[in-house]
Amino acid sequence: MQRLLVHCVSTPHQLTVVVQQQYVDAGVPPVAGLLKQHVLLLSYLQQNTDAETFDKDLMLWFNGWATLFSAVHICLGNVLEEGIDTIRQHQRQAKDPLTQAMHQFDLRLLDFYRELSDDLNNIIARSTSPHHLFHSITEDPEMRLHMTMRLQQQKNQLPANPN
């Protein structure tokens, strides 16, 4: 780990050691936790559960970004420029349809992903939880834009663009 940090000084890193340690401290072996999450993923894919939601709480960064806690690659704005009230108002009023769809683990996002990419089955196979799956399919900015546009089309009942 130290070697990685020394050679990649200018690269941002996310460390999950604290989360893993919390599982151990709570007496939950990490493998058992992953197995439970994978079963939960399969239940969601079969539409057999709605027990859990994607965490859409805000995570605030020192540079001003306001991102989703469970998807830090989704930036909802800049607190330093827009103010926290504006960002929270957008979030509360469901002005970001992608955030709302992710919060509900909306399976339409999987269909929208398939419209642009053919690797969804591989992503599902290596996903350890619904959170991991929805995080993975929204990493690409072009895909997020496509999903948001498709959600808006369906909301407004506009025909989908076949291209």
Torsion sign across C-alpha atoms 121, 127, 131, 132: negative
Residue 162 lies in a domain: no
83: which 2 tokens? 């103010």
**161 occurs within a structural domain:** no
Please give the model's pTM, rounded to 2 decimal places: 0.63
Domain contains 163: no
CA atoms within 13 A on the CB side of 86: 10
Contact 117, 124 (CB under 8 A): no
Domains held by the chain: number = 1
Q: Give the pLDDT score at 145.
A: 94
Give the range of the structural domain holding residue 132, as residue numbers without chain letter: 2-156
Tens of pLDDT along the chain (163 residues) come to 444 445 554 544 444 444 555 555 555 555 444 555 666 677 777 776 566 676 777 888 888 888 877 677 777 888 899 998 888 876 655 577 888 888 888 899 999 999 999 999 999 988 887 888 888 999 899 999 999 999 999 888 755 565 5
Quick check: is 105 in a domain? yes
